[in-house]
Structures are given as C-alpha cells and as structure tokens.
Structure 1
Amino acid sequence: LIGIWGHGRKLDSTIKFFLFTMVGSLLMLLAIIALHLIHAQQSGVATFGLHELLKTQIPAGTQLWLYAAFLLAFAIKFPLFPLHTWLPDAHTDAPTAGSVILAGLLLKTGSYGLIRFGYPLFPQAAQILTPLLFGLALVGILYASLVAFAQEDMKRLIAYSSIGHMGFVAIGIAAWQPVALSGSIIQMANHGVTTGALFCMVGMLDERAHTREIKAFGGLWGKMPLWSFFFLLFSITSVGLPGLNSFVGEFLILAGTMKSSPLVAALAFIGIVLTLIYMVRLVQEVVFQKERQPLDLTDLDLREVCLLAVLSLLNVWMGVHPAPLLDLIHTPVQLLLGGAP
C-alpha cells in the first residue's frame, strides 16, 4: 500500500517499515522454534499447537529470553518507544486507506499477540519484565504527546497521538488485571474507530486542499461545517471525553492500573492532559482560527457524510453503552487470567 500507492518518501518509509517488522518477526520465529524443540524434548510430541505448547515446563531463565524475543516483535507492531520511529513515516507517506488499515488493524496485532501468546506462554518472564513494559509504555505516551506539539503536518500529529493511545493499551496489558485488561481490549477497538476516522478526515481535506499543513488552514467551521463538526467530535473523542468511546477504555485501564501501580496510573494521566492540549490546539487552529489564506474548499459529499456518520454512531454507542462489548470479552479475560476475580 505504501510502496505502490503512497507519496513523498514512500520507498524509504516502506523499507524502514519492512526492516523493523522483519527483524522482530525473525527473532520471534527463532523463539517459536526453540519453544517447539523444548516441548518435543519434554513430551516426545513435535507440535506448534498453542494448547500443547502452553503445557510446556520452561525454566524461568529460558522463559526470559524467549519472552524477550516475542516482546520485541510485538513492541515493534504496537509500536512502543523506542521502536516507534517507523510509524510516523509510514503514516505520513501512506495513502489514506493505508493509514486507516495501519491504525485499525496492523497496530492491534502487537497488542493481540502479547495478550494471546506472550503472557500465557511465558508467565514468569512476563511478570519479571512488567516494570520494563510499564516504563516503555509510559515513556511512549509522554514522548509522543510532547512530539505531537511540534508537528505541522496533521497526519503526522495524529500518528504520534496513535503511539500515545497504544501506550495506554500496553499499560493495561502490563497491569494484567481484569479491569485494566478489559480496558485494553476495548481501547484496541476504540482506537481503530477514532484514529481511523481522523485519518479519513485528514485525507478528505488533503484531497481538496492538496496540503495537510496545519498553518494552511483556518476558519473551516464557516467553509466546511460538516467536516468541522465530525473533526471536532473525533478530536474530543481522542482526548477521552466522557460519553465517547475512548473514555471507557482509558478509564478502565487507569482504574485497573491504580490497583497494581498507582504511580504508573498517575503518570499516564499526564499523557491524557497533554493529549487534551495538543488536540484542542489543532482544532482551534484548523477549525476556529481566522482564515490564513483563501482556499476554495467544498464540504463533505453524501458518501463521506455516511461514512463518518456510521463511525460517529459507533463512537457514541461504544461510549454510552459499552456493556455488550464488556460482556463479550468477560469470559476470555477471566480465562486468560486463570479465573482471577
């Protein structure tokens, strides 16, 4: 998607993305083969089946380096600091559809993999490295929020906000506690809807103005009221306003993390405050600021309105009535945690 239909430095971004993911995937492949051999040596059964591998008795020291390989591969996909540098470039040079797929699907493979494979296969190692995961997630949240302030390209700013949101998902996983883990799973879905919508809207604006520079816009509330309304809605969703979907995930993550590490929860909350500041600044400059230069812009057409209306309904429904989603993931979460209350 990026290499063929992207723009700008698309080949550089594609190669960078490929190298990051390939290194992580190769290390994880070696760890999977090692796990397979350990299980075969213990049981006499050669298998890659997860249910069988979960029964493998792995010494803590061996668990540590196997889990480290898995964690590295999944951290690249999240992405977690300092393995995040491929993402802003990939988003900046990707077509709109590519950015939506990156935000909505690809980043979730890292969090899903850590939940589904990392912790269940290597519980002792995961517990030992929990402070590391907390630390990387926190640094990523705060770093991405601060760097977002310096961005002049709207798409790049949203890419950094995406790193911050996935940092919250990592914190909920690291807490490995029912409420926090439920929040992480919910936030994975929320992030796909909210950030995907924001990338769509920046793409719609880019098609009309042929630029994504924040300073090129102003006064869009008067010129593009429909676009401005939806952009305002998803921007305040990204901040975590109550009643919208991101609030549910972030609240559950922080509430669950408070039980295991109040300091981590408090520091993560600073990230929410920083997100509020840079998103309000973005909306102010693009939507409400006085027009800086004359631009001939048309508002959303029916197709675009329908797309954003559906995402908006999902956004509000997930924020006001999250119970069906929480009920859906309740049993899997309990099974992952071994019946923890």
Structure 2
Amino acid sequence: MEYLLSIVIFFPALASVFVFIMDNNVAKPYGITIGLIELILVAALWMGFDYSNAGMQFENTFALIPDYGINYHVGIDGISLFLLVLNAFIIFLATIYLNQPNDKNYLVVCLLLLESILMGVFASLNVVLFYIFWEISLIPILYMIGAWGTGEKIYAALKFFLYTFFASLIMFIGILYFGYLYFITMGSWSFDILDWYHLALPFNIQLWLFLAFFISIAVKIPIFPFHTWLPHAYGDAPTLGSVVLASVLLKMGTYALVRFSLPLFPDASYALVVPIAILALFMIIYGGMLAFAQTDMKQVVAYSSISHMGVAVIGIFALNLEGIGGSVFAMVGHGIVSGALFMLVGMIYHRRKTRQIAEFGGLAQVMPNFAAVFAIVMMANVGLPLTVGFVGEFFSLLGFFKAHPLITLIAGTSIIISAIYMLNLYKKVFLGKAPNAKNLLLNDLCAREISVMLPFVFVIIFLGIYPKPLLTPIQNSTQQLLETMHNRAIKKETKIYLKNPPPPLEVIPHTSQSPKPIKEV
C-alpha cells in the first residue's frame, strides 16, 4: 500500500506505451482493460483511506532537485481522493464508449496519458510538480481536438492551448516568487505546499500572488470573462474530448482554488469574496441565458457547464465548511452529469450526423430508452432533489448564504435557469412530432451504450440519496483546510470567515517533515 498512489499515477501512462505496437482493433479492448485495472486500484485507495484522518495519506516523497526544494511529493486527502475516483470512473467509461472507426490506438493513448496526468494534478503536493502536470495536460486534449474534432477544430484547439498556456505562465511566475519568499524567510528552498503553509505573507503580497494564481485558474474553470475558448473547444471537440474537458479538466481549476489559493492567501481570499462572487453570478446567469439561446445541443451542455461551475465557485468562496465541502461534492457531481450528457449528445450525433435542435423532435417515440436515460441525467443537471446534482449545489449555496444572503438568492436562480433551458431542450428534441422522417428510423440504445449509461444513472441516483460516503471525508479535510486558513491569516478582521471555527481534529495530520512554526515575511 506504500506506493499505491504512485502506481495509480503512472500505471496508465506506462500501459499506453504498448498501444503503439498494437493492431487498431486490439487497442479498444486493451484500453478498457487498463481503465478497469486503474479503477480497481483507485477503489483500493478509497477502501484503504482512513476517514478519521483529515491530513494527507498515501504520501510518497523523493528528491528531484533537492538544492531548490523540487521533489516528487504526492499524497491525497478527502478533497483530492474523489477527484481521483471521478477521473478513473470517467476514463473507464470513455474507453467503453469509444467508437472511433480509425486511429483507435492514438485515441486510447490520449485517454490513458490524460488519466495519468490528471491523477498527478490531484495528488501533487510539490507545487512545481503540480505545475508540470498542469501544463502537460494540455497536450493530449490539444491532440484530441485537432485530430478528431469537427468544424474549425484547429482553431478551437489552438485557442484552447494559447489561452491556458499563457495564463499558466503567470501562475508559474507566482510560484517562483513564492518559492523565493520562502527561501529568504526560512533560509532554504522549498516548493512543498505543506512547507508553504508555514509562511504567512503580508496582505499586499498575498493579493498579487492570489491574482497570479487566479488568472490561470479562471481560464481553466473557466470564469467569466475568461470563458471564450470554451464554446469552440467543446463544440468542435470529439465526444470524448468534450467528456474529458467537462468532467475532469474543468475540475483542475476549482481544485487549485481549494488546494492552493485559499490556504496560501487567506487574507486576499476573504478580501476578494464579493468581486469573485459577482463574477460567479455572471457565470450562473449569463451562462444559463446563453445555454437557452443555443441551437446546437452540444453548446447547450457546454454553456450549462459554465453556469454550474459558477455555483461551485460560489461555494468555495463561502469560506466555511458547508460551502467548500459542498463545492468539492459539486465538482464530482458535475463531472458525472456533464460526462453523461456529452456522451448522450454524442450518441445522437453518431446516428444523425447533426446536433441541431431543430432537426429533432419526437425521439421519445422511437428511442424510449434513450429518452428515459436523458431525462434522468437532465434532472440531475437541473439539480432535482435525490440526484447527485442537488447535494453539492445545495451545500454550496447554503454555505454562502450564511455570509451573503442577497448574493446567494441571486445565485439560487441557477436552479430555475437550468430548468428552463434543459426542459426546453428536452421538449424540442424528444416530444412533439418528428420534423424529419430520418428521426423515425433511428435505433434505440445498443448494448454498448447501455453498458456505458447504466453506471452513470446508478451513481447519479445513489449519491443523490446517500451522499455520506463522499461527504464525510470531504468535510473532515475541509475542516483541516479551514484550520490552516485560520492559523495563517494575518489581519484579525479577515478571520470573520471563521466565526464558528471547526472543532479541533482528533487525529493530527501526518506530514513528511516535522511541524514548523508559522513565520511572517
């Protein structure tokens, strides 16, 4: 069990090497097998996870460039654990869904490489290591869009790459400067996040560094007005590209906010709550309005993602247990729901070679199973109680309501807005009369498609009814995060976000180094 996390990180990448020497017809079964093994390994992580320990577990450390504090240091807590589970779950189902007639080899390689990279993103505790994984995640998705996309796929791929790459360079400057501040304060170099937690920065430095991180994160989520790459990337990407983008890659940004921005810059985080909440409101309302105005089913789901991630951002900046814990749960829930929606849109596109809403109608008569599955996933996207989409958004809004009731009431309209555009989509596509005779000849879900969608439906309903297996470890680690913020805040007035500090933890989190006192720069 000591090196299980490292095996989880690198196993898919190592396995992908053998795909290059395989026949095209063998690549998919091999990808499914590797995806299943990885899912079992991640399940073993989950089963071996100590729910009573809010700190890092399954840690592995060895030096890479010790003179400058750049090490291979990985570990997971309740916040990152379920993002690993989500990643393994989505990639496994993506390999089953794969129906690319040609070049299966390269698409399987992209999926497995991306799985490894994202595992590294969510498990890295050394900031330089995190940044390396963060940047190289662009390469597989860039290739997927450019090679197998539709429409202006090259433009969409390059726009996605340039936006995220150059924004990430700003974060890299912030990382280097923070490392330099640690060096001049502590006398040694370190880029370990657990070491950085022992350094308290003045407010003005916190503010600039927060913005350096935030610009890169805002592009990745994406937060308004850094969202303009998303419609092109989602619309022109192949189905599996859209699935991975929405389900897992978007969570890199919100995860980075929770793991890095809040605990490293607590004073700046509190000072910017209202401005960021306003940006999140734009995401919720503007994204929902754009979703309603779309004529392409895929674009409806794409803009829907912007709207729902706005709720997750609201939850993060509630800066309390309910809000942050609910936001992490919402990341997992949105990943499941958005992945299912994009796969469903891909299934209908594969049959009709069009995603235009006007081309459809009356599909419930000829594809009743497809219509039933779409209805369940749609209700989860709306946030219907007893579905996975409800739990995270409810706690996110509840947490923010405690500090800013008015903003929360406006953000709560996301439920109404999402209901409007999703029910409108369902009505036009599945009800009424078919405007085209081709719709009457469509086949219902095949065995492969049913095997992909049943796990989505099961998880959507199960976690909506019984979310405790996820909420308990998430809340324990969120308490630890809030304790870290509370201890590192310099300005007394900024500690208002802990009016009711969480109770002391029973288990002291293990770190690879002995505890150090917090020092101010």
TM-score (norm 2): 0.65
Out of 441, 455, 470, the residue aligned to residue 310 of structure 1 is 455
Structure-2 separation of matches of 1:312 and 1:191: 13
AA matched with 2:407: V
Q: Which residue does the alignment assign to 2:419?
A: 276
**Structure 1 moving runs of 4+ over 2 Å:** none
**Which of 56, 61, 66 pairs up with 2:209?**
66
Instruction: Show the counterpart of 1:322.
Output: 467
CA displacement 1:258-316 (0-9 Å, x = unmatched):
10110111001112211111111000010112111111211110110111111000000
Write the mapping of 1:18-29 to structure 2, written as runs, cut at 5 A: 18-29=161-172
Give percent identity, aligned residues only: 42
Aligned to 1:95: 238
**Structure 2 partner of 1:179:** 322
Structure 1 residues 211-235: Cα deviation after superposition (integer angstroms, max 9, x where no partner): 0000100000111111111111111
The aligned amino acid for 2:451 is C
Cα distance between partner residues in 1 of 2:207 and 2:285: 27
Question: In the TM superposition, what is the alpha-carbon distance from 1:45 to its structure 2 partner?
Answer: 0.6
Distance across 2 between alignment mates of 1:69 and 1:123: 15
Partners in 1 of 2:220 and 2:303 — Cα distance?
14
Shift of 1:7: 1.2
The corresponding residue for 1:48 is: 191
Matches of 1:204 and 1:161 in 2, distance apart? 19
Q: How does 1:247-258 map to 2 (within 5 A)?
A: 247-258=390-401
Aligned to 1:153: 296
Deviation at 1:188, TM superposition (A): 0.3
For the aligned residue pairs, the C-alpha RMSD in angstroms reads 0.9
- The corresponding residue for 1:199 is 342
- TM superposition score normalised by structure 1: 0.98
Q: Could you tell me which residue of structure 2 aligns to residue 110 of structure 1?
A: 253
Q: Structure 1: where are the runs of 5+ without partners?
A: none
Count of residues in Structure 1 that have an aligned counterpart in Structure 2: 341
Give me the whole-angstrom Cα distance separating, in 1, the residues matched to 2:214 and 2:294: 29
Report the equivalent of 1:84.
227
1:223 aligns with 2:366: yes
Residue 308 of structure 2 is aligned to residue 131 of structure 1: no
AA aligned opposite 1:252: F
d(CA) in 1 for partners of 2:330, 2:365: 33
Q: CA offset at residue 53 of structure 1?
A: 1.5
Distance 2:372 2:433 in 1: 17
Q: Residue 42 of structure 1 aligns to which amino acid in structure 2?
A: T
- Residue 182 of structure 2 corresponds to residue 39 of structure 1: yes
**If each structure's helix is expressed as a fraction of its own residues, which one has the higher value?**
1
State the 1:148 CA deviation. Answer: 1.1
Q: Take 1:100 and 1:144, find their aligned partners in 2: how far apart are those partners?
A: 19
Residue equivalent to 2:433 = 290
Any idea what SS the aligned residue of 2:199 has?
coil
Post-superposition shift, 1:135? 0.8
What secondary structure does 1:75 align onto?
helix
